[in-house]
Amino acid sequence: MTSETLYLRAILPSLPSDFAKKVRKLCGSTADSSAEHVLDTLIRFVCGAECAPNVPTETGAQWAEKQQAASKVLRDMIHPGPTLSKRAREDDLEQGPETSKRQKASKEETPEDAVFTLHSVSTTSPIRKKVDITLHNTYLRFTHPSTQAVEATIPLSSLTRAFLLPTRGKSKAHWTVVILSSDTVEHVKTPPNSAQSGQQQVIFGVDAITTSAWLTTTHTSPSAKPDVLPKGSPTRATLLAFLSRLGIQLIEPTPDVFKSACVGITSGVSASEDGIPGTEAYRGAKQGSLWFTKEGILWGESKPCEFWALEDLISKSEGLRVVGASGRTCSVVLTRKSEGDVGEGEEDVGVETQFGLVDARERPGIDGWMKVHRHLFGKRRKAEGGVTIGQVEDEEEDEDEDFEMGSEDGVSDGSGSSSSSDEEEGGDDGNGTIEGEADAEESEEEEELREEDHPLLQPGAMPRMSRAVMDMVVGMVEEDMRGSTTGAGLEHQSEDELEEDELDD
């Protein structure tokens, strides 16, 4: 037995002794060990493994397609009839988190409603193994590539966002797909992808350029045959075709939004040719990546993943902070709005998450991203009643202007404009009041305004002061702090003098 026939050597000790002797005798009967290689290749083919590196090119080209067909024939022979294959009884009796990962398909689920299948994909969540991922009308199903045993099922209604990420740290270009049912992470003992958890995360990876033929199936009919993506083909278009069928938001980080300043051995070869749109970071002791997009920031690749949408960051100043950038590394602090309503009169301090050991060279890029996007921190993409973000911002700017330069404060706005009709009806008496109206206003106030209805006597009420009065008070305080008597002299000024000073200001 040679080292090239690993599968045959691995299985021989498990064979019945009489049959194992026959296999050994068969392999030793030929001097060139051709029988040994044929048996090893057959075992690889039947068990769903990749073909050996030394097989002929023609065999390698047909391997994946023929292997899929053979698997279906064997499956139909072992489990005749249209019913779904079931897992062994001992799997049903397993205890612990592994049990929850192998969820059975419900009776309503049928293979006929399949839409699209990615064959032989390496996943890390909800299970960690190579599976077929099939999109059905209402759920995602994860099955064993050879036996088609159902490993997990996730309803589509629970999924909210999908991400296509150019994986960091790989020796060759690679894509990572992350699909979330919730932006936040449940900090509970229940396994994230268990049936008892409302949180589902799908994470799997595919080489950016196929190293061997890759099969996908578009289920246009129950007898649809797999499509073969030849070796050396790009996979991005196939992944986008799959993700676009999920019917949820698809986010793909791009270097034009954020570009890492650290490119080297540790960052690996990126599937994004124009640069890496993310940076390496640590959440506690766990290594991962922060991906900056125009929709928000994703902590991705390392599970559990988490997403901070722009509208969920608490504010412009506290939503994202970079601290400790004086050394070789810095930390990125994200603060999410608290879930639920904050009590009346209470300030929302948010939920803070810190990512450490970020290379300090990333600071300018993070600051640039924040400068472009922080005006959207904490603002919903679509306000109630169909008001857009731009409209909300315009209203806020108008409110700020009213507060600073409002005519109700009795201060001129500097424009010199006034109502010509007011001038015709009556002149200004020098105190900002139109003649002929002052007496009427005073009489109305005396008749209608009762003491219990006075606005300044209401709970929480504050008197409104003009900017000139506020400046005067500040000046008085400053003079008192300097020990000057100038402030005290203001007490002896007449009301007319104060009003003239106010108008001059």
3-state SS class at 257: coil
189 or 159: which leads in pLDDT: 159
Q: What is the pLDDT of residue 143?
A: 95
Q: Mean pLDDT highest for which of 19-33, 317-331, 390-404, 429-443?
A: 317-331
Q: What is the pLDDT of residue 81?
A: 44
**pLDDT class of 454 with cuts at 50, 70, 90:** low
Q: Which helix (H) or strand (E) holds 280?
A: strand 278-283
Beta-carbon contacts of residue 471 (< 8 Å; ≥ 6 apart)? 505
Q: Is the dihedral of CA 227, 229, 235, 237 positive or negative?
A: negative
Q: State the amino acid at position 284 in one-letter form.
A: G
Antiparallel, parallel or unpaired: β 161-166 and 249-251: parallel
User: What confidence tens digit (pLDDT) does each residue in 458-472 have?
Assistant: 655 555 566 676 777
**pLDDT class of 295 with cuts at 50, 70, 90:** very high
> Worst-scoring range by mean pLDDT, 29-43, 47-61, 484-498?
484-498
Q: Mean pLDDT highest for which of 31-35, 56-60, 163-167, 393-397?
A: 163-167
Q: What is the pLDDT of residue 7?
A: 78
Mean pLDDT of the chain: 75
As a three-state string, the secondary structure of 73-91 is HHHHHHCCCCCCCCCCHHH
What residue ranges in 167-269 does DSSP mark as E strands?
174-180, 201-207, 214-218, 227-229, 249-251
Task: Supply 374's token pair.
Answer: 């922080």
- pLDDT at residue 82 tops 70: no
Task: Supply 483's token pair.
Answer: 């020990």
Q: What is the pLDDT of residue 69?
A: 76
Average pLDDT over residues 211-239: 93
- pLDDT at residue 10 tops 70: yes
In terms of Cα–Cα distance, which of 136, 147, 16 is closest to 75?
A: 147
Buried b (16+ CB within 10 A) or exposed e, 27-58: beeeeeeebbbebbbebbbeebbebbeeeeee
Domain map (residue ranges) of the chain: 6-78, 100-339+348-376, 455-505
Q: What is the pLDDT of residue 67?
A: 76
Average pLDDT over residues 336-364: 87
> Worst-scoring range by mean pLDDT, 97-111, 162-176, 226-240, 317-331?
97-111
**pLDDT class of 30 with cuts at 50, 70, 90:** low
The CATH number given to 100-339+348-376 is 2.30.29.150
- pLDDT at residue 491 tops 70: no
CB 425 within 8 A of CB 435: no
DSSP-assigned letter for residue 338: P
Q: What is the pLDDT of residue 399?
A: 42
- pLDDT at residue 275 tops 60: yes
Burial (CB count within 10 angstroms: exposed 0-12, middle 13-18, buried 19+), residue 326: exposed
Q: What is the pLDDT of residue 183?
A: 94
> Worst-scoring range by mean pLDDT, 105-114, 468-477, 489-498?
489-498
Beta-carbon contacts of residue 404 (< 8 Å; ≥ 6 apart)? 467
User: What confidence tens digit (pLDDT) does each residue in 91-149 have?
Assistant: 443 444 444 444 444 444 455 689 999 999 999 999 999 999 999 999 999 999 999 89
Query: Bridge-partner residues for 354, per DSSP?
Result: 333
From residue 435, how far is each of 344, 439, 444 by CA, in Å?
44, 8, 16
Beta-carbon contacts of residue 12 (< 8 Å; ≥ 6 apart)? 1, 20, 23, 24
> Worst-scoring range by mean pLDDT, 80-89, 194-203, 236-245, 284-293?
80-89
Q: What is the pLDDT of residue 469?
A: 67
**pLDDT class of 169 with cuts at 50, 70, 90:** confident
